[in-house]
Chain A
Amino acid sequence: MADTAEKAHIKVVEAPKPAEETPKPEKHEKLGTQENRKWPVKPEFTPEMLAEMEKILPSKLNRIVATSLAGCIHCGMCSDACHYSVSIPEDKKLLPAYKADRFRKWYKYRYDWMAKVFPSFVGAQPLTKELADEMYDKLWGGCTMCRRCTFNCPMGVDYGMLTRAARGIMCQVGRVPKHLQDTIDTHYNSGNNMAVPQDEFVETIEWIEEELQDEDGCSDFKIPVDKKGAKYFLTLNPREPKYYPLTIQATAKVLNAAGVDFTISSRYWDLTNYAMFNGIDPDAKLFASWIADEVKRLDCEYLLSGECGHGYRGLRWELANWLGGVPFKITSAMELFARLIEEKRITLDKSAWKGHRFTYHDSCNIARSGGITEEPRIVIRAAVDDFVEMEHHGEHSFCCGGGGGALAMPEFSERRIASGKIKADEIRATGANVVLQSCHNCTDQLKEIVEHYHIDAKVMNLAELLAPALVL
């Protein structure tokens, strides 16, 4: 992944030109942890690993997970809620209740009273290699933790938390999709999940700033790095400096046009947190603490999440819990853009997008688990005339199939693409030729399913929508 990324970055390092206002780091600082780590990923479950999992299980059973494991009544109401079971109806083993039962059977075997006497009667099973293999297949490769089933469960079973707990147990014994864990190890070792070196990152930002200044009416626009006392501390998805520098450029253009006082850290700027996907809390907490420390170091009032689904949720809703509270406010680009529009701090020309029809895909972590559903629509309606909602939208939106770290699990790619059929069908039904979204995992998945299901549509995020429509 890193090698490919390096190649993609060639253009970025070709034309570096430091901006006067941007202090370049004195030397290449070792970011991430001091000691590099390589997680011992195992190809299959062994009896020793199963024994270790038995020891770990109690530590993962908080009140939500325990209630979710004990509370399923097998009513089957979740069947129509899951993008896997709706898109691949022939595979009954992709029903949320069935998938969760791979974990539940083991839990019941350990904790259910009736199972102590009649395990088969309540569907309890001891943790065997076969059951663990099924858990691996269904809870890594058959669930994106999107929580759509949770919202449709009469009992309030939190499948997202349940799956994350199971993943955490499997990961702790080394049974984790290798590419997913590599991403987390890279983040752990270098401070961002694509191992972008600090000096290279700063050069990239400088280059983007130059490109931005070359745009009409943007000659005085800046992308401040390490500016102390800035109001907003902007975080980025590493895909942006690596593959999508235009997204940073678009975001910076909007913020500059509105006169927003912001900065980017040269040290910790990666808002992603793939430890949310592998269920290892200490890593999730560590990555969050790096960002929090930087916000404090630069004395910013707001931590501003870029357009990234799980990154937003991690910063906005989980970070404070991992760290026990934070002394700054946390918001997102989607919310800030909406506020800038409502406060008339930016002016938009809808004719920039004349002839295009738009639809918006709600990232599960932003909408269902994050509470942001109105703001993106404020942004879109201010920028375009032709906007059509998908049949299921807002907190009812189907997952595109790219959540839960699915894009970092190539062994499940075929199922991931198949699971995106319901989303592809809904996009097609809108007749839109632009699919908007606010999440990089969604971007990549939507691009794949749009191509796979032969839909003539472009995929863009909100900053890319706003930037060309700005009246400067």
Chain B
Amino acid sequence: MENSVSHALQILEEPIQYVCLTFMALMYATKIYLLMKKPGPPEKAELKGDRFAGALQSLANVMRPWSMESTRNHAYFYAEFVVFHIAVFLTIGATFLIPLVPGLMTPVVTKFFMVFMGLAFLIGVRRIYRRATDPRIRIISSPDDFFAITLMTVFFAVGFGALWLWNAGRPETGLMWVFFLMTTFFLLYVPFSKISHYVLYPFGRVMFGQIFGGRGVLNRHAR
């Protein structure tokens, strides 16, 4: 069993993941190309502010919870968002570190990853509950919304379990195999799902920042 898992894991960790990663990159490149082909917003009016500074501020919005009423008034929700997305970053990072530089995944590092994965799992469960029970969120939710958050939540749980076993001296386990299988699935699925929102994020934020930065609505104090 250990041998078959080990062999399958090796294939999943390296060649398959690289193929899938290339596929995802191609899909994203296509998405961005299709978006950039569309006419951009012109701005020929005499500016009151700085479009570039506005774009930077807008991009950094994610780190400025005080800048939007929606995050200012929902600090707990924002904290969840931060932890969840750090966990996403770390979990994806783990899928690269484990096969490429396993030496970096020391017990301390692994535990650090696990803390975020565990918290993100709990947040995921709460977000699924919220989406299912809050009438304001349920009415705008599609099956993709439920599937995406469920998938992520399970991914964190599996990652947490796989790293637990890794720390226990069992790096090549069935759980690790599932973890990498899910990673592979993500690479193929994400470009088609709402999870790909992070590709659109910079475009939405930069355009927002350019418009309202140029009009002097953003960066008011800088003016």
Contacts and interface: CB of A to CB of B under 8 A. Distances in A.
Interface in A154-206: 154-158
B202 to A, nearest CB: 9
Interface in A399-414: none
Given A66-B35, A79-B136, A74 B205 contact: no
Q: Is the interface of B mostly helix, strand, loop or mixed?
A: helix
Contacts of B48: 371
A28 to B, nearest CB: 35
Contacts of A93: 139
Interface residues of A, number: 59
A398 B162 CA distance: 49
Contacts of B38: 61-63, 66
B136 A76 contact: yes
A76 B208 contact: no
Contacts of A66: 35, 38
A203 B191 CA distance: 64
Given A114-B192, A114-B193, A71 B204 contact: yes
A77 B143 contact: no
B1 to A, nearest CB: 36
B13 to A, nearest CB: 27
Given A76-B136, A113-B192, A156-B205, A67 B200 contact: yes
A81 interface: yes
A449 B75 CA distance: 33
Contact of B36 (A63, A78, A153, A316): A63
A374 B70 CA distance: 23
A64 B215 contact: no
B200 A155 contact: yes
Contacts of A321: 42-45
B39 interface: yes
Contacts of B71: 77, 154
Interface size for chain B: under 10, 10 to 19, 20 to 34, or 35 or more residues? 35 or more
A236 interface: no
A61 B137 CA distance: 27
Interface stretch (A2-10, A117-125, A253-261, A267-275): A117-125
Contact of A371 (B35, B49, B74): B49
B68 A152 contact: yes
A353 interface: no
A371 B205 contact: no
A266 interface: no
B111 to A, nearest CB: 30
A73 B194 contact: yes
B41 interface: yes
A71 B32 CA distance: 13
B33 interface: no
Interface string B169-208: 0000000000000000000000111100100110111011
Interface of B: 35-36, 38-46, 48-49, 58, 61-62, 68-71, 73-74, 77, 81, 134-137, 139-145, 147, 191-194, 197, 200-201, 203-205, 207-209, 211-212, 215-217, 220
24 contacts: A63-B38, A63-B41, A66-B35, A67-B204, A67-B207, A74-B137, A74-B141, A76-B136, A80-B73, A92-B135, A95-B136, A113-B192, A122-B193, A123-B142, A153-B70, A154-B61, A154-B68, A157-B204, A158-B207, A158-B208, A324-B44, A367-B217, A370-B215, A373-B217
